[in-house]
Amino acid sequence: MIVLGLSGSLTHDPSAALLIDGELVAAAEEERFLRDKHAKNRWPYHAARFCLDFAGVNPDQIDYVAFPFAEIGFTHPGRLHFARRYWYAPDRALDALFNGNRHFRRNRRGILQLMADLGIDAGRSPFVPVEHHLAHASSAYHLSGFKGKCAILGIDGKGEYATTFFGYGENGVIHKIKEFYDPDSLGGVYGALTQFLGFEMLDGEFKVMGMAPYGDPEKYDFSRLWECDGRNFKVNTELVNVVGLRRYKDQRRGYYFSPKLIEWLGPKREGDEIDDPYIDYAASIQKLLEETSLKLVETYLGDILRESGRLCFAGGVALNVKLNQRLMALPYVKELFVQPAASDAGTAIGAATYVANARGEKIKKLKHVYLGPAYTTEQCLKAINEHPEKPQWKKIADVPKTGARILAEGNPMAWFQGRMEFGPRALGCRSILGDPSHRGVADRINAQIKYRERWRPFCPSMLDTVAAEILQTDHPAPYMTFAFTVAESWKKKIPEVVHEDGTARAQIVDRETNPLYYALLEELEKLRGVPVVLNTSLNRRGEPMICSPTDALNMFYGCDLEYLMLGDILVTKAVKE
């Protein structure tokens, strides 16, 4: 069975994923091809085209096209809840009651047109919609490889109407326990505060999380943002998750918070340099998110977790590694699987796995997320020869050894290898690397290449042979989805990847899934005694991760990087006189 999953249901992060006989063989995000971060209001044409071409699949071979947004019935509690809670905006409330599937109809028209553009006959390859949060749940549960019963958690801004999902999986079947509905959204409130703190919603939540350890979570009481007794959850729509006339507006732009939030907390943050009191606000919202999530998990999933010890997590909030660290610390959680593309891009995978499973396919465990395009040496040389900067280059016989030497000398290096990662994390194929034992390398990358705020952490990739010693746990961590407390003995060895609170968002590298990256780490260990690299995504600020050799060269000549390892070709900059 061949299932093509397509996402983009909520006007951002469109992607495509291809499932063949229960195995995920290709997946990519449209932004990487368009060079437009989040590719808002676009459909995943290039991503889908790549998936089909990579697998050698013709459009007429596709059995189903799965999509993570479904039609919601008139009596569904989500529609009624939305209408009741948005009573102050009667146009929105009435629309939910009497035109509550307008977004679904728009999505269906868009995907049917995309299918036609791709040459997929909708009569032969049916369009199959899947509820948004079921797609999130499937993306985590069906790819986790967990056997037996396990708990499933889904938290994001919103899907059709649901915002938060509690359930469990058993024998391949996903069971709902409880959902919360818009505007009662943990992710939505965190996103509104992200806007207040000066960042883009659906993009800057990582920055809020990075800012939080620098602040005092006890300095301000944010409990008025929502009510939660452990069973019920209700957002204060006088302050956040607001629509219509309640929104704060600035320069004709509406925000997801109200003027009353400004009256309470003061003006929203502007620019990169202002920290006080905003770092304390970040600490407060992070603490509130963690404590409320844990309280709800205890209520709705506690019994299942005590029975099974296994938890699957997806949705945009699943990328909050500090929350994940708290979940892992629960005494009854033995193993946590966070779908590595947990935000809406990953729903293409979830829709495909849900449809395939429902039709009797056994879904294979996710082994890695190196699921995008790869490029040959010949393609890299073609990009070099065509580039206007006339790059200076040479072929390298031993890529790991040469790369490790560059790093050991204190230099950052762009590392472009193999298949592009799916999801927001660079995992050793589209990365900027540094030696984390060299003090100042993170500042150098920030100042010359990434232009990131000072409080945003860089992450370590490390060999599996030392991970347990450094991270003080043997929990699997191949995808940078967890924060761990770094052992005291290692904090001084790798200072450039340890955050303000003593944690690191780590990737544990194994030889089987990325042998070249593993070899690079081994060579660096020989030179410096440190089997760890600083790893950040190969892109400049505000851009998507690099996809092609041409993208890599454009990025290289648009910043102060001096070394680019493009496959087995080392590109360097000519010395300026």
pLDDT digits (tens, 9 = 90+) for 137-151: 999 999 999 999 999
The position carrying tokens 């079947």 is 173
As a whole number of angstroms, the distance between CA 57 and CA 571 comes to 35
Task: Tell me the average pLDDT across 285-314.
Answer: 98
The CA angle 308-309-312, to the nearest 5 degrees, is 95
> For residue 15, is it within any domain?
yes
The alpha-carbon radius of gyration of the chain (Å, integer) is: 23
Number of domains present in the structure of the chain:
3
Number of H helices, E strands in the chain: 19, 24
Task: Tell me, yes or no, whether 439 lies in a domain.
Answer: yes
Domain CATH for 417 = 3.90.870.20
Confidence of residue 577 (pLDDT cuts 50, 70, 90): very low
Is 542 found in the same domain as 411? yes
The answer to whether residue 391 sits within a structural domain is yes
Sequence-distant (≥ 6) Cβ neighbours of residue 87 within 8 angstroms:
93
Cα–Cα distance for residue pair 354/172, rounded to 1 Å: 9
> 172 in helix, strand or coil?
coil
SS3 for 504-567 is EECEEECCCCCHHHHHHHHHHHHHHCCCEEEEEECCCCCCCCCCCHHHHHHHHCCCCCCEEEEC
Per-residue pLDDT of 322-355, as tens digits, reads 999 999 999 999 999 999 999 999 999 999 999 9
pLDDT confidence of residue 494: 97
Mean pLDDT (whole number) for 502-521: 98
Are 321 and 388 members of one domain? Answer: no
Is the residue at 51 inside a domain? yes
Domain co-membership, 248 together with 120: no
Judgement on whether residues 435 and 327 belong to the same structural domain of the protein = no
> Is 256 inside a domain boundary?
yes
Average pLDDT rounded to a whole number, residues 263-278:
91
| 177, two tokens | 């326990």
Average pLDDT over residues 539-557: 96
Closest by Cα among 492, 570, 479, 483 to 529 = 492
Find the mean pLDDT for residues 360-375. 98
101 lies in the same domain as 248:
no
Cβ–Cβ under 8 Å, residues 30 and 345? no
Q: Indicate if 354 and 331 belong to the same structural domain.
A: no
Helix, strand or coil, per DSSP, at residue 214: helix
pLDDT in tens, 42-59: 999 999 999 999 999 999
Please say whether the dihedral angle defined by the alpha carbons of residues 412, 416, 418 and 419, taken in this order, is positive or negative. positive
353 and 381 fall within a common domain: no
Percent helix / strand / coil, the chain, rounded to 5? 40, 20, 40
Asked if 310 and 334 count as a contact pair (C-beta separation under 8 A), the reply is yes
Distance CA 405, CA 437 (A): 14
Decide if pLDDT at 576 tops 70. Answer: no
Q: Above 50 in pLDDT, residue 574?
A: yes
Asked if 90 and 193 sit in the same domain, the reply is no
End-to-end CA distance of the chain: 60
Residue numbers annotated as active site? 12
Task: Please tell me the distance from the alpha carbon of residue 9 to that of residue 110, in angstroms, as a whole number.
Answer: 9
Q: What is the C-alpha separation between 525 and 511, in angstroms, rounded? A: 15
pTM for this prediction:
0.97
pLDDT, one tens digit per residue, over 451-505 is 777 677 899 999 999 999 999 999 999 999 999 999 999 999 999 999 999 999 9
Whole-number Cα distances in Å, 183 to 13, 40, 165: 21, 22, 14
**Average pLDDT over the chain, rounded to an integer:** 96
Give residue 273's pLDDT band: very low, low, confident or very high (50, 70, 90): confident
* Spatial distance between the Cα atoms of 144 and 367, rounded to a whole number of angstroms: 9
Q: Establish if 544 belongs to a structural domain.
A: yes
Task: Write the burial class of residue 401 (CB in 10 Å: 0-12 exposed, 13-18 middle, 19+ buried).
Answer: middle
- Residue reference for tokens 């997946």: 27
What HEC string does 313-362 produce? EECHHHHCHHHHHHHHHCCCCCEEEECCCCCHHHHHHHHHHHHHHHCCCC
Give φ, ψ of 170 to 5 degrees. -155, 130
- Alpha carbon distance 237, 298 (integer Å): 25
Task: Return the pLDDT at 172.
Answer: 97
Question: Measured in whole angstroms, how far is the alpha carbon of residue 424 from the centre of its chain?
Answer: 4
Distance CA 6, CA 483 (A): 30
Give me the domain span that covers residue 209. 186-337
CATH of the domain at 250: 3.30.420.40
- The proportion of the chain whose per-residue pLDDT surpasses 90, expressed as a percent, equals 95
| 88 within 8 A of 244, measured Cβ to Cβ | yes
The dihedrals phi and psi of 309, each to the nearest 5 degrees, come to 80, 5
Q: Residue 553, class by beta-carbon neighbours within 10 Å (0-12 exposed, 13-18 middle, 19+ buried)?
A: buried
33 in the same domain as 125: yes
Q: Does 274 score more than 90 pLDDT?
A: no
Taking the C-alpha atoms of residue 151 and residue 147, their distance in angstroms, rounded to an integer, is: 12
Asked whether residue 139 is assigned to any structural domain, the reply reads: yes
- Asked if residue 216 and residue 90 are part of one domain, the reply reads no
Reported as a pLDDT band with limits 50, 70 and 90, residue 67 is very high
Q: What is the pLDDT of residues 128-179, one digit of tens each?
A: 999 999 999 999 999 999 999 999 999 999 999 999 999 999 999 999 999 9
Find the helix packing angle between 45-55 and 102-118, rounded to 10°.
Answer: 40
- Report how far apart, in Å, the C-alpha atoms of 296 and of each of 78, 212, 481, 563 are: 19, 22, 21, 48
74 and 197: one domain?
no
Does 81 map to a domain?
yes
Eight-class DSSP state of 229: -
The answer to whether 139 and 349 have CB atoms below 8 angstroms apart is: yes
Do 408 and 493 fall into the same domain?
A: yes
